[in-house]
Chain A
Amino acid sequence: MINKSNYHIYAIDYIEGNLEPELKKEFEKFLANNPEIRQEIDELKDFTLPQYDANLDLTDKIKLKKSSIEGLSYFEQLCIEEIENTITQQQRKELYELISSSAEHKKIFEQYKLTKLQPPKVFFPYKETLKKSATYNFAIKTIISFAAIILIALSIINLKLLLPSRNNSSLPQAITIVQPQWKALILPENNKQQLSSASINKKACKHHPVTIKKAITKTPQSTNIQKHNEQLDLAFTPPSPDIATPQNTQININLSDITIYTSQKTSSTVPQNTNKTAAIIKNLKTNLSRNLRTLAYKKALALRHHGLRIKIKNKVYGIYVSR
């Protein structure tokens, strides 16, 4: 028997058409006697459940996901994965789902796309300096080694030529650079006699007298020098009449006794007797014995060049023979 206390048991089956015919007749009779309940049942008949919205649910589901990188949202991760081209197909679907669902998402994605940096054109200006020669591997070290040896050897030779050292008995010494005038001719003790006995043209020496300043006593060292060096015959012939040196004076002299000086004072004009000096050096070269004259000539030239190069205005003015 259907009544007000149990009608709701049959109500859903009635609405959905699942009641047995007898029960259906009885339920309709009950509704006819109770119009307020009929109204309630009619309202229930009109009620329909909303359709399932798959798109909305997917978006919500994506929004629930978490990023694997701390500090980033899942959506941000998807944006960067897309830019980095490391995104999966599923992730790409989710990304574009989110982008299409929201203008804000779209804007953020556009901003992320701008973070892809474009390289500017830059040129390294020192490229050629970095390159290596093809022969470097095989030869450069050897060349450097040889060059170093040669340089050291040249330096030693140069030092011996340039620095007068009276302690060195093996080579002729003492070419230096001097004052602009003939100063003195000083000979070793053993040459003094020869000079004094030589025929000296005193007239020629009037303006530039050659003087014997000091007689040096022979020392064991100078004996050594004589042993090792040849005793040189120096025909000291002046290259021009202006140079007042004894004409045809025969002087026996060690090369170690020769000194060439240059003036330390600066001058803007080249002294006239520079050429004369060169001529005297030439004369020395001609008259010295073969082995030693080469050294003497080189020494004189080296010094001359050295003086001219290092102190531009210093010129070789004369030769000063000294002990």
Chain B
Amino acid sequence: MISVEQYNLAVDKYSDNLYRFALKLTKSSDEAKDLVQDAFEKLWKNRKKVDHNKIKSYLFTVVHNKFIDETRRNSKLSSIDNIDFEPGYWYNFTGIKDFLEKAIDKLPEIQKSVLLLRDWEGYSYKEIEQITGLSESQVKVYIFRARQFLRKLIGKIETLI
């Protein structure tokens, strides 16, 4: 059960992170805003059922599921070989952080989501399992594959430069 005070506190504490997460997934501020609003609306609607200790993971679960559901049909596996390494595109980064920001978008959506939950939000494999509905071992595999993908991309760009 969540009180109004707890709900409003959750808005203050989690809306920025949730928006950042949604923004990275959708790459659109409007869609991200909608996802965040939907998540909080759902939280409010289900406030009698949600444990106040699990508000944050509940919000991320809603955003993750909604995003994955909407993009599942269009989801395709990325391959390092399919990435365009046109120098004009990849050389315009000011640093590795900038480069990675763009590189993350090349990941398959599920890997991206899991990796963001891990690195940006600091969730454990177990918590990500609860948020995404994947098994813990699947979560681990997705994270490992995502890192491998990014590492290869870094290696490739270093070679080109």
- List the interface of chain A (C-beta within 8 A of B): 69, 71-72, 76-77, 80, 83-84, 108, 111-112, 114-120, 122-127, 129-134, 136-137
Q: Which of B11-19, B60-68, B84-92 contacts A (4 or more CB under 8 A)?
A: B11-19
Contact in complex: B4, A137 (CB < 8 Å): yes
Q: Which of B50-58, B70-78, B149-157 contacts A (4 or more CB under 8 A)?
A: B149-157
Tell me which residues across on chain B come within 8 A of A80, comparing CB atoms.
143-144, 147-148
Tell me which residues across on chain A come within 8 A of B81, comparing CB atoms.
none
Which of B40, B101, B121 counts the most A-chain CB atoms under 10 A from its CB? B40
> B interface, by DSSP: helix, strand, loop or mixed?
helix
Contact in complex: A112, B20 (CB < 8 Å): no
Tell me which residues across on chain A come within 8 A of B118, comparing CB atoms.
84
Distance (whole angstroms) from the CB of A92 to the closest CB of chain B:
17
The complex places the Cα of A137 from the Cα of B7 at a distance, in Å, of 12
Contact in complex: B119, A119 (CB < 8 Å): yes
The count of A-to-B residue pairs whose CB atoms sit within 8 angstroms is 93
Contact in complex: B148, A72 (CB < 8 Å): yes
- Is B23's CB within 8 Å of the partner chain A? yes
Contact in complex: B147, A130 (CB < 8 Å): no
- Is B26's CB within 8 Å of the partner chain A? no
Tell me which residues across on chain B come within 8 A of A108, comparing CB atoms.
151, 155
The complex places the Cα of A127 from the Cα of B33 at a distance, in Å, of 10
Contact with A along B14-37 (1 / 0, CB 8 A): 011111100100000000010011
**A-B contact list, 24 entries, CB within 8 Å:** A71-B145, A72-B145, A76-B148, A80-B144, A111-B154, A114-B154, A117-B120, A119-B20, A119-B120, A122-B20, A122-B23, A123-B19, A124-B16, A124-B33, A126-B33, A126-B37, A127-B12, A127-B15, A129-B37, A130-B15, A130-B36, A131-B7, A132-B44, A136-B4
Tell me which residues across on chain B come within 8 A of A112, comparing CB atoms.
147, 151
Given contacts A115-B154, A117-B104, A119-B120, contact A130 B37 (CB under 8 A): yes
Tell me which residues across on chain A come within 8 A of B7, comparing CB atoms.
131-132
- Is B135's CB within 8 Å of the partner chain A? no
Which of A76, A114, A130, A134 counts the most B-chain CB atoms under 10 A from its CB? A130
The complex places the Cα of A125 from the Cα of B22 at a distance, in Å, of 13
- Is B110's CB within 8 Å of the partner chain A? no
The complex places the Cα of A108 from the Cα of B150 at a distance, in Å, of 12
Contact in complex: B15, A114 (CB < 8 Å): no
